[in-house]
Chain A
Amino acid sequence: GAGVSQSPRYKVAKRGQDVALRCDPISGHVSLFWYQQALGQGPEFLTYFQNEAQLDKSGLPSDRFFAERPEGSVSTLKIQRTQQEDSAVYLCASSSGQGTDTQYFGPGTRLTVL
């Protein structure tokens, strides 16, 4: 497709379960970002990849959060032992070159932890 895609669009998990969220960036885009958006708030940065290299993971809230982009294209955000406070929309964005280029966002994955 032409835009950023994310799957699943909705995910319900029981507390303690592991989840994996997928992001397909725009083809050829070098930079990839993950953001977390709580209800009624603006998105907050989680982590950044340039190709397959994770250059910044300073926004990951705990060591239960892990992201990868092994071939420099598709990325997966994994959350282990989910907690209720992890409930949020997880947004993926990509940009064509440097990170300061315009970021195009996917539709997000709404995670609900019961």
Chain B
Amino acid sequence: AQKVTQAQTEISVVEKEDVTLDCVYETRDTTYYLFWYKQPPSGELVFLIRRNSFDEQNEISGRYSWNFQKSTSSFNFTITASQVVDSAVYFCARSEANDGGSQGNLIFGKGTKLSVKP
């Protein structure tokens, strides 16, 4: 199976530290999409970013930034100046543009639990 691997099971940092969450994916497709979701203790998955496989530009949104490296099949996520409210489980996921783009069920990694301590 084509997997998504998040090697870091748990990370603990102190507030205001920068932290990078790693994501490596496998795919045989030329067209695919990558996502990051946040799952706070309440349980609901919150969408953070969607990236097309043809767009390798890095992206920054406030304290969040994403580094997409197609050559190494990685899509890493960095939180700058972390805050206690960033504590959550973060999931990286990949979808596939099957059948002309009509479907895209997500394949998730196992998640990285981030704890930010005050």
Residues of A near any B CB (own CB < 8 A): 31, 33, 35, 40-45, 48, 50, 55-56, 59, 89, 91, 93, 95, 98-108, 110
Q: In whole angstroms, what is the CA distance A81 to B97 when docked?
A: 35
- A103–B102 touching, CB < 8 Å: no
10 closest pairs, A vs B, by CB? A42-B108, A100-B104, A99-B104, A105-B45, A99-B103, A45-B105, A107-B44, A102-B50, A42-B110, A98-B101
Is B84 located at the chain interface by the 8 A CB criterion? no
- The answer to whether B101 touches A103, judged by C-beta atoms less than 8 angstroms apart, is no
B contact residues around A95 at 8 Å (CB): 104
The interface stretch among B11-19, B35-43, B75-83 is: B35-43
Q: Can you list 5 residue pairs at the A/B interface with Cβ under 8 Å?
A: A31-B103, A45-B107, A55-B102, A103-B35, A103-B104
Instruction: State whether B45 touches A43 (Cβ < 8 A).
Output: yes
**Bound Cα distance A40, B108 (Å):** 12
B105 and A33 contact, CB distance less than 8 A: yes
Assess the A48–B110 pair: CB atoms within 8 A.
no
Contact A55 B103 (CB under 8 A): yes
Q: Which of A101, A105, A107 contacts B104 (CB 8 A)?
A: A101
Q: Which of B42, B46, B103, B106 makes the CB contact (< 8 A) with A43?
A: B106
- The answer to whether residues A42 and B109 also contact, given A100-B33, A101-B104 and a CB cut-off of 8 A, is yes
Contact B95 A100 (CB under 8 A): yes
Within 8 A of A (CB), among B80-105: 91, 93, 95-97, 101-105
CB distance from B49 to the nearest CB of A (A): 9
User: Once bound together, how far apart are the Cα atoms of A41 and B50, in whole Å?
Assistant: 21
Residues of B close to A48: CB separation below 8 A: 103, 105
Known interface pairs A103-B47, A104-B47; A50-B102 also in contact (CB < 8 Å): yes
A66, B111: Cα distance in complex, Å:
28
Q: How far is the CA of A31 from the CA of B104 in the complex (A)?
A: 10
* Whole-angstrom CA separation of A103 from B94 in the bound complex: 12
A-side contacts of B45, CB under 8 Å: 43, 91, 93, 105
